[in-house]
Structure 1
Amino acid sequence: MNERMDKMRSLLVATFAPLECQLEDESHLHAGHAGAASGAGHYKLRMVSERFTGLNRIARHRLVYDCLRDMMSSDIHALNIVAIAPSEMTS
């Protein structure tokens, strides 16, 4: 993991106390993409947290974007979010 991902993970863990937090850097899949030219990355997040209980998908995504707000303008070009409440996990 790199420094940018470490910072993202720290913010997410502090905000959501997730049961699961999988963060992947998919920037290499977007080489040559206009958004990649600025150096901002493409990331995939799968997170399970009680904070998502009772919220729809849009509200969950807003919480994640709010958490990472400062990084969205410079470090993150794209973020694929899967936000799950513990009761929605499948075995």
Structure 2
Amino acid sequence: MSLQHNITEKLSKFAPEYLTVENESHMHSGPANRETHFRVVMVSDSFEGLNRVKRHQNIYALFEKEFSDGLHALSLHLYAPAEWQGEAPESPSCAGKH
């Protein structure tokens, strides 16, 4: 199972109304075909009343093993349904990409 699929499966516990998980590893330096950098956009009632830090802490707690196994970054865009405007900011280009 790919790491992208694993991330998607684990995030399903938040019962998202909207979820995308994109592998952005190709936008960073390193060998091809790796799974180290992901962008997550998720809308869930679970984020209602939580500030950005608490939302991120809840997500990062799910992926301790993955981070110790080589996951490098999760770019998180987390919204309660009332905050969702239909799109999230795009990821910037990595300065280290050659």
TM range (shorter): 0.7 to 0.9
In structure 1, stretches of 5+ residues that fail to align are: none
Partner of 2:24: 26
- Corresponding letter in the other structure for 1:57: R
Partner of 1:83: 78
Aligned residues: 84
- Corresponding letter in the other structure for 1:4: L
Same amino acid, percent of matched pairs: 35
Structure 1 residues 40 and 24: CA distance shift in structure 2, 3 A: closer
- Cα deviation for residue 73 of structure 1 reads 1.3
Under a length normalisation based on structure 2, what TM-score does the superposition of the two structures give? Answer: 0.77
In structure 2, stretches of 5+ residues that fail to align are: 87-98
Under a length normalisation based on structure 1, what TM-score does the superposition of the two structures give? Answer: 0.83
| 2:4–2:35 Cα contact (<8 Å) kept | no
- Corresponding letter in the other structure for 1:31: S
Let me know the Cα RMSD of the aligned residues.
1.7
Higher strand share: 1
- Cα deviation for residue 90 of structure 1 reads 2.0
Once superposed, which parts of structure 1, at least 4 consecutive aligned residues long, lie more than 4 Å away?
A: none
Higher helix share: 1
- Cα deviation for residue 69 of structure 1 reads 2.0
